[in-house]
Amino acid sequence: MDPIYNFCAGPAMLPATVMQKAQAEMCDWQGLGVSVMEISHRSPEFIAMAKQTEADLRQLLTIPDNYHVLFMHGGGRGQFSAVVNNFLGNNGRACYLVSGQWSDAAAAEAVTLTGADAIDIIPVVEEVNGRKQVIIPSFDATNEYRYLHYCPNETVDGIEIFDEINSPWPVVADMSSCLLSRSIDVSRYGLIYAGAQKNIGPSGLAIVIVRSDLLALPALAQPAIMDYRLARDYDSMYNTPPTYAWYLAGEVFKWLLAQGGVAAIEAVNEAKAQCLYAGIDNSDLYINRVAPANRSRMNVTFALNDESLNAAFLQQAQAQGLLALKGHRIVGGMRASIYNAMPLAGVEALVEFMTRFASDNKA
């Protein structure tokens, strides 16, 4: 059977070896005769797995000891409200940088919860020579913000911010689609959160990495299951957590360590992105509208200069085992999400198809 390459933006493909192990352990985990989904989250076996998963993530990201790792409900979007509710009590204010659809959604959620007077929104994308480019402004340190929020990688828009933000306030980063894809200095952030369904595991789980001092900020009233302090105090088990997603995240972390860790996978991700962007740039049929400095390594967006060919492109790509290339409904065009689990061979197969399709459809 020819290989199938899944370019879905999320839920995204998982490493094949992780899926195979999960399949083998589906009905008999650790010799217990039952699935990990069927045992108590307070059992010794599950607690041991949970502790190892956190230890592996700490190793992968070199997380300092003064940061808590929380395994939360609600995915990335759930953290839009959790961040606000945990930190903006007692008339707190925050600054939101908007670089695309997801950072805009986070800012809108913050305004809904606190009112427009509490949230300053700064658009940071400009069009330069027909391409979208991120321009980070200088910040006025006299503003009394509890935090500055941004999204390093915009999955819909195909925009990535590689430079870390130099902010006079704690930086909160939505890394749902780029966490573990490249090296970062965790100590530069007040809080990092990520929905699992890109580079971590299945949907429904969110990883939160929060510096201890931020948990002393006054909170708003909120549901107990989204309270970071309760999650810290109860080891992310104030109530039943998403146990199977936690288990699969642990398996993905083991897989990533076996690849050589984040630095090793970053090199592979760079090679994949370079290969695909070269295939786009070297063709008259395809165009990417993001400045090279801000082109996402995880979500490569492109359009066909002749949009009447869109349907044929998608149909023929799927026939070749190249799935989920249709762009987000808001922006249209095409999108190839090439997260950690996507092998270089998958990107090479896509570029080969794109080159052949362009040749077959010359004007």
Pick the closest to residue 287 from 259, 327, 246 (CA basis): 327
CATH 3.40.640.10 assigned to 17-258: yes
Task: Say how many C-beta atoms besides its own lie within 10 A of residue 147's C-beta.
Answer: 23
Separation between Cα atoms, residue 162 and residue 277, nearest integer Å:
17
Separation between Cα atoms, residue 203 and residue 188, nearest integer Å:
27
Separation between Cα atoms, residue 93 and residue 61, nearest integer Å:
29
Per-domain residue ranges of the chain:
5-13+261-360, 17-258
Separation between Cα atoms, residue 168 and residue 137, nearest integer Å:
13
CB 208 within 8 A of CB 191: yes
Separation between Cα atoms, residue 305 and residue 8, nearest integer Å:
22
Provide the pLDDT for residue 96.
98
Provide the pLDDT for residue 329.
87
> Do 5-13+261-360 and 17-258 agree at the fold level?
no
Indicate which residues carry an active-site annotation: 102, 174, 198
Provide the pLDDT for residue 91.
94
Provide the pLDDT for residue 1.
59
Residues of 63-97 as b/e, b for ≥16 C-beta within 10 angstroms? beeebbbbbbbbbbbbbbbbbbbbbbbeebbbbbb
SS3 260: coil
Pick the closest to residue 298 from 126, 215, 182, 213 (CA basis): 182
The strand pairing partners of 71, in sequence order, are 207
Question: Residue 51 contacts by C-beta under 8 Å, 6 or more apart in sequence?
Answer: none
242 cis-preceded (ω within 30 degrees of 0): no
Separation between Cα atoms, residue 27 and residue 16, nearest integer Å:
19
In degrees and rounded to multiples of 5, residue 71 shows phi and psi of -110, 105
User: What does CATH list as the number for 5-13+261-360?
Assistant: 3.90.1150.10
Return the residue matching tokens 């070269």: 278
Question: Which residues of the chain are under the pLDDT cut of 50?
Answer: none
Separation between Cα atoms, residue 280 and residue 275, nearest integer Å:
9
Separation between Cα atoms, residue 150 and residue 171, nearest integer Å:
8
264-265-267-269 Cα dihedral, nearest 10 degrees: 180
